[in-house]
Amino acid sequence: MNFVRGYALPRLVQWAVVIFVGATVTFLIPRLLPTDPVEQTLNRVSATSVTDPRAVESFRNALKDLYGLQGTPLEQYLNFWSRLVRGDLGPSLGAFPTPVTQIIRDGLPWTIGLLGTTLVLSWFLGLVLGTLAAYYGNRRWSHVLSGVLVTLYPIPYFILALVLVMVFAYYIPLFPLVGGASGQASLSPAYIGSIIGHSFLPAVSLVLGGTAFRFIIARSLASGVISSDHVTYAELAGLPRRRIVFAYIMRNSLLPQVTDLALALGALFEGALITEFVFSYPGIGYRLYTAILQSDFNMIMGVTFFSIVGIATAALFIDLLYPLVDPRVRYR
């Protein structure tokens, strides 16, 4: 009971407040943009056909109602929460009248498959390689590995993506240029192989950048742990180096890196925007980029809201699991 009242309940309240404030900001920001999605839609329609003024006005009112822009700002805000509670994010402007929730549901498996796999892989590689490089800092392979990854770190992942596209999809056409798969969706080996082939280049660009970033963090954290008394005592006691590295150094530097992993997993809902755009990958990031170009309020708010919920939930999850990772942390 003390755990629920003293530890879990305050964090649940904090989680709810973060989501409430995040949703409110999500509601406000698109309405502060200089562009009006309703007028943009009317201009596109007027450019392709001659319409009656009364029909234009009727169409304008219908669009305002669909996008939650009817009434005063307070009425719009209350209507926004009313729809949000029902799970209704409205229709998408770019794919009207398809609901935003359906577009997110269709794009989410692609983003989770790509970003989830690359994130876990880059986190694991960065953690292990960084710890080993710190412990064996005087070895030649450690200097070479550190030089390569530190050189890769400042390069934006979308630049790596462009280079990979030019080399391995254009000049040496080993992999598909765009898309997420080819053929009819099924569980056949051919279709699964198509998914792997289309996701290979964007995955490599994300893994390289993510591994370099986490390698630097892991090496820095491990370097501080190596000089601690318990590691020195373990070495003097003649414990196997493997045990020292994984049980003494890596475990004691794991806490901030678990935080990084959990928050990064929570941010999967926003997608790898630039990478998905470069490869025309059908994930959430590509849909968000299109929505921004079209001033699609509902789609922008939908992706942003899911991202806020994901990050807040991940922060709550790691708060509750910290004691399992580090015994120094105790429930208060």
DSSP string, 163-197: HHHIIIIIIS--S-SS-S--SS-SSSHHHHHHHHH
3-state secondary structure 20-72: HHHHHHHHHHHHCCCCCHHHHHHHHHHHHCCCCHHHHHHHHHHHHHHCCCCCC
Beta bridge partners of 91: 99
Q: Residues near 170 by Cβ (< 8 Å), separated by ≥ 6?
A: 177
Backbone φ, ψ for residue 99 (5° rounding):
-65, 150
**Is there a contact between 310 and 268 (Cβ–Cβ < 8 Å)?**
yes
Is 48 a domain residue?
A: no
Most confident of 55-59, 127-131, 172-176: 127-131
CA distance 23 to 308: 8
**Is there a contact between 20 and 317 (Cβ–Cβ < 8 Å)?**
no
Is 34 a domain residue?
A: no
Among 114, 167, 120, residue whose Cα is nearest residue 273: 114
Q: Is the pLDDT of residue 47 over 80?
A: no
How many other C-beta atoms can be found within 10 angstroms of the C-beta atom of residue 83?
14
- Find tokens 């901030």 and name the residue: 256
Q: How confident is the model at residue 321 (pLDDT cuts 50, 70, 90)?
A: confident
- Give the residue, 49 or 324, on which the prediction is more confident: 324
Q: What is the mean pLDDT of the chain?
A: 77
Is 217 a domain residue?
A: yes
- For residue 213, the domain's CATH number is 1.10.3720.10
- Give the residue, 210 or 32, on which the prediction is more confident: 210
- Give the residue, 133 or 3, on which the prediction is more confident: 133
As a whole-number percent, the residues of the chain with pLDDT over 70 amount to 76
Is 80 a domain residue?
A: no
Is 273 a domain residue?
A: yes
- Per-residue pLDDT at 6: 64
Tally of domains within the chain? 1
What global pTM score does this model have?
0.73
Is 56 a domain residue?
A: no
**Is there a contact between 302 and 80 (Cβ–Cβ < 8 Å)?**
no
Q: Is the pLDDT of residue 280 over 70?
A: yes
Collapsing DSSP to helix, strand or coil, 155 comes out as coil
CA distance 111 to 99: 19
Is 202 a domain residue?
A: yes
Q: Is the pLDDT of residue 275 over 70?
A: yes
Q: 331 is written with which tokens? A: 């429930």
Domain interval for residue 189: 109-295
Is 282 a domain residue?
A: yes
